[in-house]
Amino acid sequence: MRSKLVPLALLALAAFAQPALAETPERPAPTGGVLSLLPPPQVTEHSITLGGRKLDYQAKAGTLSLLSGKGEVTAEIFYVAYTQQSPAPAKERPITFVFNGGPGAASAYLHLGAIGPRIVETAADGEFRRPPQKLIDNPDSWLDMSDLVFVDPVGTGYSREAPGHEPKEFWSVDADASSVGAFIRLYLAQNGRTGSPLFLAGESYGGFRAALLARTLQEDVGLSPSGIILISPALEFMLVRPDQFDQLHWALELPSLAATRLKADGVSGDALRDRLAEVEHYALGDYLTALNSGLEQGGKLASGRVSEITGLPLDLVQRNFARIPTGLFAKEFQRATGKVLSPYDATIGTADIAPQSTHDAGPDPVLDRSVPVLTSAFVAYARDELNYRTDVSYRLLNGDISRNWDYGTSGQGYAGVMNDLQRARSLNPALGVVIVNGYTDLVTPYLASRYLLNQVPSLSDAKPIRLDVVEGGHMMYLRPDGRRALKDAASELFQATQ
């Protein structure tokens, strides 16, 4: 990979520069507080080889000002944009806005793990290498399919609220969609891309955000996305944070527990899919019927089969009335080897620092390990390759956001976006939707996505929603094969919507 810094003053004179970039008006200057530490946008040139073809691209790292109705700056949203340099007009190329979830996560996960031109090198099973981290060219970057804009919502990454504004002003379902939607509108307008095919990609809560934006961008902003890619999405929180008396979530989680056991036994590929089809049928059939018969009766009816499916001892399953919390499974599945599993990918474990406890007391081997890895990798990448230098701390995961998030009620006590997604598809029947889940993700189980898709009308005039389930966990892209599978799914969406 080659990289060269380009002064902004010279960029407008470069032969490959888009006229809209040269005509972009000056943004309001950040004033006061931490915003004064944010540098102006930095532009660099790079190249990468994808699919045997050399691709030149421009990277731009900076912040964009969100404005109140009075024209006052309310926040600065940090982004990194990658634009392919080609003879074709920029407006004809797709542009994809990418964000992670949490809520409270910066976009470095998808940026340096899956989609961007540079990624952190990981092992075949998705585990991180020992520090310091090595960045490599991403053979599965989406940059040959679409220009990319990675967005950090307010309070994550380098994004901050302006003096006089509270961060909680942005920390709700509606306020988040409004601020990210405003960013998308402003970025497109300021860079002459309002006419480009528009795509959204989000992971976990970012999938929730993308589905909601698919509607609000059309109804509130006047932009119509061509497609959305939902990665391990949390679409209905009644299935993510269920009531203790709800039986459905036990059934939706069971196949992911089974997938973990089957992977431990060496089952993969078509054999894994076929074996799990049997478990799915049982989970939504006899198992759910047994659970609904009552706590004790259900335990008697289902414990034997659940023990076989999960590999957990029968007496443990019986004590839990055949209802296996994912945390319990993660703690007990490899107890004999002294390991506890990550619910983010139950094929990855780490030494249990408190084996005497019934609850996991140690760091998660995927999520917690990702924080120092991706934080340090992104800060170094921004400084050394994107020429973006600041003393502002980079917040990969901001726990204050998740602890203080206002989910609203949606009238039923749970936030959900399936109705928003359906309305978006009705507004734009050409909208393409792809969902990608990992088999061994215990946080957003794949069967939950399939179940939800089966509970909404197909909409005869709209494109069908596609669901791909691939090997790996919540961040399946940390595995090279999962990253390729994710790109394949996105590629079909881009091709189908052209």
Name the residue among 422, 406, 477, 459 with its Cα closest to residue 237.
406
Three-state SS at 70: coil
CA dihedral (201, 186, 153, 372) positive or negative = positive
For residue 229, the cross-strand partners are: 201, 434
Report which secondary-structure segment, H or E, holds 422. Answer: helix 418-427
Is 299 within a domain?
A: yes
Is 242 within a domain?
A: no
Is 243 within a domain?
A: no
Q: Poorest-confidence range of 130-144, 369-383, 404-418, 483-497?
A: 404-418
Angle between helices 269-282 and 248-264 (to 10 degrees): 150
- Torsion, CA 79, CA 80, CA 86, CA 89, rounded to 10: 0
Residues 213 and 344 in one domain: no
Of 364, 392, 411, at which residue does a domain stop?
364
pLDDT band per the 50, 70, 90 thresholds, residue 18:
very low
Residues 380 and 360 in one domain: no
Instruction: Answer with the residue of higher pLDDT: 39 or 314.
Output: 314
Residues 397 and 356 in one domain: no
Residue spans of beta strands (DSSP E) within 37-171: 42-50, 53-67, 73-84, 95-99, 118-120, 135-137, 147-152, 160-161
Looking at the chain, how many residues does it have?
Answer: 498
Is 82 within a domain?
A: yes
Mean pLDDT of the chain: 89
* 442 touches 330 (CB < 8 A): yes
Give the count of domains, the chain. Answer: 2
What are the pLDDT digits (tens) for 127-181?
Answer: 888 888 899 999 999 999 999 999 999 999 999 988 888 888 999 999 999 999 9
Give the pLDDT of residue 409.
60
Instruction: Answer with the residue of higher pLDDT: 350 or 440.
Output: 440
Residues 260 and 356 in one domain: yes
pLDDT surpasses 80 at 362:
no
- The CB density around residue 403, as the number of other CB atoms within 10 Å, is 9
Residues 140 and 210 in one domain: yes
Residues 360 and 285 in one domain: yes
Is 79 within a domain?
A: yes
Give the pLDDT of residue 241.
77
- Reading the block at residue 484, the tokens are 């390729």
Percent of the chain with pLDDT over 90: 75
Give the pLDDT of residue 36.
80
Is 141 within a domain?
A: yes
Domain with residue 452: its CATH number is: 3.40.50.1820
Of 313, 330, 364, at which residue does a domain stop?
364
Residues 138 and 32 in one domain: yes
Contacts of 270 (CB under 8 A, 6+ apart): none
Residues 140 and 214 in one domain: yes
Distance, in Å, from the CA atom of 21 to the CA atom of 147, rounded to the nearest integer, reads 15
Q: Poorest-confidence range of 159-168, 418-427, 485-494?
A: 159-168
Residues 254 and 224 in one domain: no
Give the pLDDT of residue 256.
98
Contacts of 117 (CB under 8 A, 6+ apart): 1, 46, 48, 57, 82, 137, 138, 141, 143
pLDDT band per the 50, 70, 90 thresholds, residue 28:
low
pLDDT surpasses 90 at 432:
yes
463, exposed or middle or buried, with CB in 10 Å at 0-12, 13-18, 19+?
A: middle
Give the pLDDT of residue 27.
52
Of 364, 394, 414, at which residue does a domain stop?
364
What Å distances lie between residue 190 and 22, 59, 72, 333, CA to CA? 10, 16, 18, 53
Residues 460 and 439 in one domain: yes
pLDDT surpasses 90 at 68:
no
* 112 touches 378 (CB < 8 A): yes
CA dihedral (51, 55, 61, 63) positive or negative = negative
Instruction: Answer with the residue of higher pLDDT: 413 or 42.
Output: 42
- Reading the block at residue 418, the tokens are 């399936």
pLDDT surpasses 80 at 47:
yes
Residues 71 and 180 in one domain: yes
Report which secondary-structure segment, H or E, holds 229. Answer: strand 227-231
Give the pLDDT of residue 352.
77
Is 339 within a domain?
A: yes
Give the pLDDT of residue 412.
55
Distance, in Å, from the CA atom of 110 to the CA atom of 98, rounded to the nearest integer, reads 8
Quote the radius of gyration of the chain (alpha carbons, Å): 23
| Domain extent at residue 405 | 3-237+371-496
What are the pLDDT digits (tens) for 169-194?
Answer: 999 999 999 999 999 999 999 999 99
Give the pLDDT of residue 189.
96
Residues 313 and 225 in one domain: no
Is 175 within a domain?
A: yes
Give the pLDDT of residue 30.
56
